[in-house]
Chains A and B, each alone.
Chain A
Amino acid sequence: MQPNSRHFQVNAESALREPNLQSALKQLESGFVAGRQRCYDALPEFEALRDRAKEVLDHTLDNLDAYLLEYEARVLESGGLVHWASTPEEAREIVVRICRDAEARSVIRGKSMIGEEIGINDALEANGFEVTETDLGEYILQLAKEPPSHIVAPAIHKTKDEISDLFLEHHRGLGFTQRQTERSALVNEARQVLREKFLAADVGMTGANFLIAETGSNVIVTNEGNGDLSSTLPRVQIVTAAVDKVVPTLEDASLLLRLLGRSATGQEITAYTTFTTGPRRERDADGPGEYHVVLIDNHRSEMLGSELRPMLRCIRCGACMNHCPVYGRIGGHAYGWVYPGPMGSVLTPLMVGLDEAGHLPNACTLNGRCETVCPVKIPLPRLLRSLRSRQHLQRQNSSLARIALSLWSWVALRPRLYQLLTRPAMALLARLGSRSGGFRRMPLASGWTRVRDLPAPQGSTFQARWQQQQRDRK
């Protein structure tokens, strides 16, 4: 997918004017957010689980090379193959080669964000393979030729009406000539169309929520059962997974599973949680004859060696975006690439470049709600701040912003001068704004005042009021 993050501001403004998107986003609060809260309230151990999950993942990252090698050895023992890729290009080449070697025609996919990250569908189609997304949300988007707008609920921005039109347009040729308007009828129609695809597919591709070093298994978590059919019916299975998906043991995965569903959709457990290990065994009744894992780095080793390492703990639950006031207003597409919301604002600049995605770390109020709900305690606001300082150091912010920041920091490092300048300024602003309580317009701050008022200060600086309070106490 071509990144479009440099147009974040334009994207965001048009998202604010899309009524369908706005009503879908309003439902987040009563759906995912309320669901997570119910789970949180029902589980006194929730905070302890978060702490332990963070510990386990930090331990794994500290020993990432060793655990990856253990995992690889177990996959090989179970009869599977492991392929390594530094870049999305390498990963695409590997997948295309496996499909070609298997003389495959059709590929079905279970939803996976790493698949989006490496742009696997376009690569497969360009090489003549028929690719079908089988997660209902992803399938809807494949028909609409749109990227996902949420990592858990990819088609959250689509209305039932739009889906009815899409299905009629694309399924008419398959004999579904009636425009369905009931949700259940739409789900049922997709079930029938995709069932044929499942039965005919040569290759099934899935991602992995976790990889288990102890057993060489990949874990997928779904409600629809599409990932499970993708892992079971075709004769070849390909798992694409990032190197940070590995955890040491089945118990470690169990710990994280207790947090994943609750944080993502407010489910204690999803309908299906599946551990798959290697190809079908000699005497197995069914299952694919080939099992491949493609382990992908794509800048994760870079993160590991930087202050952004905590981001590698991410288990892709989407809680950060569900709780983000910015995501909640503009939705996922405005972010311009695969990963939206707070986690996407950290990942996107690293994966597509800070010059392309420089707006994202700044599209944040630093309110901290994302960090509060993150099941693995990723300090997202701190990571976003750190990207902002990278931007400043790499001179990628606007020259006006740089001059203003330099000036401010020069003054702020001189407390007396700072107070000398701010006290009269605050007093002046307070007097000017006393009548209306705020400003409609302000030089250098039009970006703020164009869409909202700037509240007037109350007359004295925080420091002055603090000192006054201390004096009063005495």
Chain B
Amino acid sequence: MSAAREQVLARIRAALGRGEPDPERTTELRERIAQHPRHIEPAFGETPRQRFRQKLEAAEASFAELETLDAVAAEIERYLEAHGAEKRIATSGDDLLRAIEWPASVDAQPWVAGSDHRVSLTTAYCGIAETGSLLLVSGEQNPTCLNFLPDYHVVVIKAEQLVLRMEDAWDSLRASTRQMPRSVNFISGPSKTADVEQTVEYGAHGPRCLHVILVG
């Protein structure tokens, strides 16, 4: 390993007034990591569903609630028409989306590298009620660029995928995957900036519009 590495570690240890951490201490710290204790989790009065919607809408995301998946295609077509957006959609490869039956008027295709669609459609790993966030993770069927490159990002999420807090999402991820996915994105509204005269404008680099469809 590099000389700088040894120097930095040696300076840190000198500053802490000790040598290498003893094995007992290291075991203790690894134990703390393995147990990953939760901290203070702020309480909220609304139901998770109410909270999720309220927070997302406060961040200027739009929201639709549907009873069944059958209604998703029509809702997306309505949304795109209302925004005057083209009905050409790049989708992630999730089974949930593959099962959608599209009308002939909508051209929805699984994303391929280099596509320049202005509308993307994805699912989410889960939704976080506390902050009104969608959690999207990368994978074989889930290119991260779909979350950031298009002008319109539409996310379909099932009501049973809502969790209370970020910490619940961590537990769920730990249980379902051996390793952190490469990209874990918490998305809590469309892209925005306040860099011109401290005034918020939407659509800085990421999607100008975020539309969340909650099913069930």
Residues on A facing B (Cβ under 8 Å): 24, 27-28, 31, 43-45, 48-49, 52, 56, 62-70, 77-78, 83-86, 90, 134-137, 140, 153-156, 158-160, 163, 183-184, 186-188, 190-191, 194-195, 198, 213-217, 223-226, 228-229, 231-233, 243, 248-252, 254-255, 257-258, 265, 268-281, 283-287, 295, 297, 301-302, 304-306
Contact = CB atoms under 8 A, between A and B. Distances in A.
A271 B21 contact: no
B161 interface: no
Contacts of B184: 217, 274-277
Nearest to A65: B12
Given A63-B29, A224-B192, A269-B133, A48 B40 contact: yes
Given A31-B194, A285-B111, A297-B8, 5 more contacts: A70-B33, A83-B4, A225-B206, A269-B186, A302-B15
Contacts of B20: 65
**By CB atoms of chain B within 10 A, which of A159, A188, A249, A252 has the most?**
A249
Contacts, number: 269
Contact of B183 (A250, A252, A274): A274
Nearest to A60: B29
B205 A84 contact: no
A134 B205 contact: yes
A412 to B, nearest CB: 34
B47 interface: no
A226 to B, nearest CB: 5
B11 A301 contact: yes
Contact of A224 (B25, B32, B149, B204): B204
Interface stretch (B62-70, B80-88, B100-108, B135-143): B135-143
A241 B113 CA distance: 30
B8 A84 contact: yes
B71 interface: no
B197 to A, nearest CB: 5
Contacts of B14: 301, 305
B143 A65 contact: no
Contacts of A275: 180, 183-184
A272 B204 CA distance: 12
Given A84-B4, A272-B206, A228 B194 contact: no
Interface in B12-28: 12-17, 20-21, 25-26
Interface size class of B (residues with CB under 8 A): 35 or more
Contacts of A198: 205
29 contacts: A27-B198, A64-B16, A69-B9, A70-B30, A83-B4, A86-B11, A135-B195, A136-B196, A163-B196, A183-B196, A183-B201, A194-B205, A223-B191, A226-B204, A226-B205, A228-B144, A229-B145, A233-B145, A269-B133, A271-B59, A271-B206, A274-B186, A276-B183, A277-B184, A278-B182, A285-B143, A287-B138, A302-B11, A305-B16
A275 to B, nearest CB: 4
A286 B40 contact: no
A334 B198 CA distance: 20
3 closest Cβ contacts across the A-B interface?
A: A225-B206, A305-B15, A224-B204
B55 interface: yes
A283 B26 CA distance: 34
Given A48-B40, A187-B204, A285-B139, A265 B190 contact: no
Interface in B85-116: 93, 111, 113
A176 B181 CA distance: 40
B203 A248 contact: no
A34 to B, nearest CB: 12
Given A49-B40, A228-B148, A277-B182, A284 B138 contact: yes
A298 B26 CA distance: 26
**By CB atoms of chain B within 10 A, which of A137, A214, A269, A271 has the most?**
A271
Contacts of B203: 187-188, 191
B155 to A, nearest CB: 14
B176 interface: no
A136 B42 contact: no
Contacts of B25: 63, 66
B167 A24 contact: no
A254 to B, nearest CB: 5
A49 B41 CA distance: 9
**By CB atoms of chain B within 10 A, which of A78, A83, A140, A258 has the most?**
A258
Nearest to A82: B5
B4 A213 contact: no
Contacts of B21: 63, 65-66
Contact of B40 (A52, A287, A305, A306): A52
B164 to A, nearest CB: 12
A67 B21 CA distance: 10
Nearest to A139: B195
Contacts of A69: 9
